[in-house]
Amino acid sequence: MKRILDFVWPAIGLIAVAVSIWLLYREFRGQHIGPEIWRTLKAIPPSHYLLAIGSTLLAYAALAWYDRIALRHLGVTHISWLFIALCSFTTYALAHNIGATVFSGAMVRYRAYHSKGLSGAQVAVLVALCSFTFALGTMLMGGLVLVLDPHLLSRFGGFLPGVLTDAHTAFLVGLILLGCVATYLAGSIFGLKPLVIRGFRIEYPRPDIAVRQLIAAPLELIGAAGIIYFALPAEGNAGFLVVLAVFLASFSVALASNAPGGLGVFEILFIKAMPSTPQIEVLAALLVFRLFYLIIPLLFSLVIVVLFERSKLKEVLHADPAAAASAASGRRLDRPADVS
């Protein structure tokens, strides 16, 4: 079954990409997209590009904080902020572009943090806590926007069942999401027993860890949504709350679709949910988002990976053979003699 699923999930992702690209083609068929997109991109003020860059830095700084929080939970304090930031940046830059199956970046983190002395079990806890921090932030921000404006889900009419786009249902969903976050925080503060769901055990972290999670995750989501908000034109811009709500829904569905980088899935949902803004301008803003949040970080992350692996290779090549032999000899002497 596992082998079958290894092929099924990538297939689902590719199908999601194909269907979404076809829907985008149908949306923009007959339009001269290239020249229009270029004119729209040039019309964005330089100050807004700078604000979008600042939003990108905020998002990736918050993602680095995810790792720092998880390491603090593990009691690991000897790893520098610079190493954590580079590891987190590389992990998410690769994972965001490749797809949801590697969103946690387990292999990248294991390679990096194992070199700093962390065990496989510790890295597994770190990965799980970082993923949960993101989920917690999504629930918190999703709950807030639905309670503040329950009509936001109506923008996804045609994509979501009618019962979910109803304002009363949306408000109730928002309250449930906030209730889940409050329960998690209460469990941390009062030291409740671990929550066990189908054999999966959730240990409540210390209150200082939980509070940090509830600050870091919203900052990351606000930064990511801010890139799109600042790239949209002032005229027809529905406001940051709407952009944030649409971003949360579209980005979550894109991750769940398993499509590489959410390609096509993210765009078609976002465009459909912003009917008051010209489609070509929304598409241009999403291209800015992909450039700042996905493509440029991916290029930098590849450089970081190459430099890291090069440094590890140099360590192996320049290792002292005598010291290695001595260490090996010591390990042999420590072993009990074989009695035949």
Q: Cα separation of 184 and 204, whole Å?
A: 7
Which range among 25-34, 176-185, 282-291, 298-307 shows the weakest confidence by mean pLDDT? 25-34
> What is the pTM (predicted TM-score) of this model?
0.80
What pLDDT, in 10s, does the model give residues 230-278? 999 887 778 899 999 999 988 887 777 666 666 667 888 888 888 888 8
Three-class secondary structure assignment of 198-222: CCEEECCCCHHHHHHHHHHHHHHHH
- Model confidence at 31, pLDDT cuts 50, 70, 90, reads low
Contact 232, 282 (CB under 8 A): yes
Q: What is the mean pLDDT of residues 56-67?
A: 96
Question: Residue 264 has what pLDDT?
Answer: 66
Whether residue 32 is contained in a domain is answered as no
| The two three-digit tokens of residue 128, written as one number | 């799980």
What pLDDT digit, counting tens, does each position of 294-331 carry?
888 888 888 888 887 777 777 767 765 555 455 444 44
Q: Taking the CA of residue 226 as centre, how many other CA atoms within 13 Å lie in the half-sphere pointing to its CB? A: 19
- More confident site: 96 or 336: 96
pLDDT band at residue 48 under the 50/70/90 scheme: very high
Confidence category of residue 99, pLDDT binned at 50, 70, 90: low
Mean pLDDT calculated for residue range 277-298: 88
Please check whether residue 295 lies inside any domain of the structure: yes
- Which pLDDT score, from 0 to 100, does residue 319 have? 64
Highest mean pLDDT (candidates 103-117, 132-146, 258-272, 309-323): 132-146
Q: What is the mean pLDDT of residues 122-126?
A: 88
Q: Span 10-22, mean pLDDT?
A: 53
Assigned token pair, 97: 């572009």
Residue 335 confidence (pLDDT):
43
Rounded to whole angstroms, how far apart are CA atoms 55 and 64? 14
Q: What is the pLDDT of residue 92?
A: 87
**Within a domain: residue 3?**
no
- In 190-278, which ranges are continuous DSSP H helix? 207-231, 240-257, 265-272
**Better-scored residue on pLDDT, 16 or 306:** 306
Give 32's pLDDT tier (boundaries 50, 70, 90): low
Question: Quick one: average pLDDT of 134-158?
Answer: 89
Please state, for a pLDDT cut of 90, what percent of the chain lies above it. Answer: 35
Reading the block at residue 262, the tokens are 């959410």
What average pLDDT does the segment 96-104 reach?
Answer: 57
Asked if residue 117 belongs to a domain, the reply is yes
8-state DSSP, 152: G
**Residue in the block written with tokens 């290695």:** 324
97-106, 162-171, 197-206, range with the lowest pLDDT: 97-106
C-alpha 71/C-alpha 268 separation (Å) is 37
Number of separate domains in the chain: 1
pLDDT of 104 above 80? no
Is 142 within the bounds of a domain?
yes
For residue 33, is pLDDT > 70?
A: no
- Amino acid symbol at 64: A
Domain that holds residue 261: 46-308
- Name the more confident of 76 and 276: 76
What's the Cα-to-Cα distance from 247 to each of 15, 87, 110, 226, rounded to whole Å? Answer: 22, 25, 30, 10
Tell me if 315 is assigned to some domain.
no
Residue 321 lies in a domain: no
Phi, psi (degrees; rounded to nearest 5) at 157: -60, 130
Residue 308, number of CB atoms within 10 A of its CB: 18
Residue 85: is it exposed, middle or buried by C-beta count within 10 angstroms (0-12/13-18/19+)?
middle
Is residue 154 domain-resident? yes
- 3-state DSSP assignment of residue 195: strand
Q: What is the mean pLDDT of the chain?
A: 80
